[in-house]
Structure 1
Amino acid sequence: MRRIVMFNWLTADGFFAGPDGNLDWVVPDEEQARAAAAAIAGIDTVLFGRRTYERFERFWRHALDDSATVPDPHRPGARSREHRAIAVALNELTKLVFSRTLNEVTWHNARLVRDLDPRAIEAMKRQPGKDMMIFGSGSIVSQLTQAGLIDEYQLGVCPVFIGSGRPLLSGVSLNVRLELAESKRLPSGDVLLRYLRSDGAR
């Protein structure tokens, strides 16, 4: 069965974005790029909420031709092997964009989905294919966590407090038991944590 994997960078006080959605507390480096490239290598589908889709589409759609309209999260002008791998993958992967406000999505292989139906997602997990991944998209993460459909949580914890912002989970009313599968400290002080969802959620 296909799995759903979540990948997000977080502050040490639990926010995945600042109050206005900014990510200026993330200090990009090559280790972060390697982590993202490794995460994306085993998937064939990305699940996006509107805001994350728009951010990714503005940059990654043109990441290799220097026409991006948002700052490069892996340093402007840097075109490492990992950076290229991320850009190529994101442009080719199937992208499901969950939004009731967008009229269309034009990124290659992107498809607009009006409603997030846990039953439809569960059916997708039973279909042949590689794993699916969520980047950003706190509302999607929250709804699928509540539905018990996320199998793995990959968290990059940055050594910074920002005091306020957008929490990764909102409206989740159950305890979700996790099993630590891997941890790695990066030279920057970031810590990569890979958790598997256990069956002890309640």
Structure 2
Amino acid sequence: MLRTTVEKSINRDYPKLSGSWDFRIAGRGFTSLQGDEVGWHLNIQEGFCIMHIETEQHGEMSCQIDANEEMDHYVGTLRYRIFEVGFISGSSVGAVRAQFRAICEMTDAGGMVRNGIIMTGYHNRAFNGDVLRVDGEIIGEWASDDEEWCHFTAVDTVEVTLSAPSPWMLHDSIATWMNCDGDTTEAYQTSA
């Protein structure tokens, strides 16, 4: 059953791929699938079936694309160098690849990706720009003032939501704010 599911997925997304597949039991609830041509890996752990598809590379950014057979979608793990900076997902490998390319275009233009959030204008001396989740949702904008304090204003608000003494600290504050569902008590407060 599992082999059939995996083969259907591989044949659907990569119709020219062929070869023999070897299943090995490596412990309780864990199985791996290794192909003799491409080096595919299938890991089943506690009911989840994750199969590594490919790793896209762009400069120091990479995106490891895995298939989640349980949820029938693909997940990309974003990394800058060795640091995990976010996750993206899509209905196909091509959709995840396109999201990764769009993120790379933003970083090439001076954006910074950390904690699943992109701040445009970060490395290009603009010191202002949009703030987006890695899935493309715009959550606000940021700007630096004359005293070099950085301020974030969330979408649909006119007042500054968060402030911090540097873009790096503002990035952390926005991530904390997002994880707290917009509750600013856990993040850096706006300056008075």
Q: Which is higher, the Rg of structure 1 or of structure 2?
A: 2
Q: Which is bigger in relative contact order (C-alpha 8 A, separation at least 6)?
A: 1
Instruction: Identify whether the pair has TM-score above 0.5, normalized to the shorter chain.
Output: no
Tell me the TM-score normalised to structure 1 length.
0.24
Give 1 or 2: higher strand fraction.
Answer: 2
TM-score norm. by structure 2 comes to 0.25
